[in-house]
């Protein structure tokens, strides 16, 4: 197990100068990503912002996908799910989920990587991957409810949750999460590097 100092506290002093930064918007393009040589062949990801900001690569997605490739676990959505689908041997189907306006872009990325596409599923997932979901404060209650409902479907389910701390409201989200779930920080060899960028990686589990 890796040893490390405790995470910076969720306090106003821990926010730093990059208070509410967003990635620079860019023209639609296709990127190849190998997650520090963990993935061969590389994942092809098309980025297109015409349907919303979800069409762009986000930093917590990169961190979570790389963590999943090291752990060889599979399930989830977007960048993370496709990276895991290409890089890991999994026994179950990996389902990608997002808002309806992201569906066509997800299908395009699935096809870019020669993976099968399904639009509607009914199952009880035991591994849920969530990256960069903490960015819109009015949606926090709905996000917490969704996470709770997913964990209620399967008592052994685990949510791998990665986000970038950008604003004070993120502290409130994590405080509420700790009241609702068993929250543990994930050990990772790159933790010191990505935590300096305000990125945090956790597991959420049901409380007994």
The pLDDT tens digits for 165-184 are: 888 888 889 999 999 999 99
Query: What whole-number distance in Å separates Cα of residue 148 and Cα of residue 205?
Result: 9
Give pLDDT, residue 20. 44
Confidence class of residue 69 from pLDDT cuts 50, 70 and 90?
low
Per the CB < 8 A criterion, the answer to whether 87 and 39 are in contact is yes
Query: What whole-number distance in Å separates Cα of residue 86 and Cα of residue 27?
Result: 26
Query: What whole-number distance in Å separates Cα of residue 179 and Cα of residue 57?
Result: 30
Q: Does the structure show a pLDDT above 90 at 203? A: yes
Per the CB < 8 A criterion, the answer to whether 108 and 46 are in contact is yes
Task: For residues 17-35, give the mean pLDDT.
Answer: 66
Poorest-pLDDT segment among 52-56, 73-77, 100-104, 158-162: 73-77
Query: What whole-number distance in Å separates Cα of residue 110 and Cα of residue 117?
Result: 7
Give pLDDT, residue 208. 84
List the 199-206 sheet strands across, edge first. 127-131, 158-164, 199-206, 181-185
pTM of the model: 0.69
Q: What domains does the chain contain, in order, with CATH numbers?
A: 27-206 (3.40.50.150)
User: Strands, E, within 103-150: which ranges?
Assistant: 127-131
Indicate the length of the chain as a whole number: 208
Q: Is the bond preceding 41 in cis, omega lying within 30 degrees of 0? A: yes
CA-CA-CA-CA torsion sign (143, 145, 146, 150) = positive
């Amino acid at each position: 197990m890796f040893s490390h100092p405790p995470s910076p506290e969720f306090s106003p002093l821990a926010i730093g100068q990059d208070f509410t930064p967003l990635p620079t918007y860019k023209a639609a393009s296709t990127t190849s990503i190998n997650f520090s040589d963990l993935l061969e062949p590389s994942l092809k990801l098309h980025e297109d912002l015409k349907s919303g900001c979800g069409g762009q690569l986000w930093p917590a997605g990169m961190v979570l996908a790389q963590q999943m490739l090291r752990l060889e676990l599979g399930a989830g959505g977007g960048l993370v799910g496709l990276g895991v689908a290409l890089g890991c041997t999994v026994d179950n189907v990996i389902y990608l989920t997002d808002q309806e306006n992201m569906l066509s872009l997800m299908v395009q990325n699935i096809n870019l990587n020669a993976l099968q596409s399904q639009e509607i599923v009914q199952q009880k997932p035991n591994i849920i991957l969530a990256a960069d979901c903490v960015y819109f404060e009015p949606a926090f209650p709905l996000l917490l409810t969704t996470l709770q409902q997913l964990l209620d479907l399967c008592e052994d389910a685990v949510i791998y949750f990665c986000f970038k701390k950008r604003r004070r409201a993120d502290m409130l989200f994590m405080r509420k999460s700790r009241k609702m779930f068993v929250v543990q920080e994930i050990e990772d060899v790159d933790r010191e590097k990505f935590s300096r960028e305000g990125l945090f990686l956790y597991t959420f589990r049901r409380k007994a």
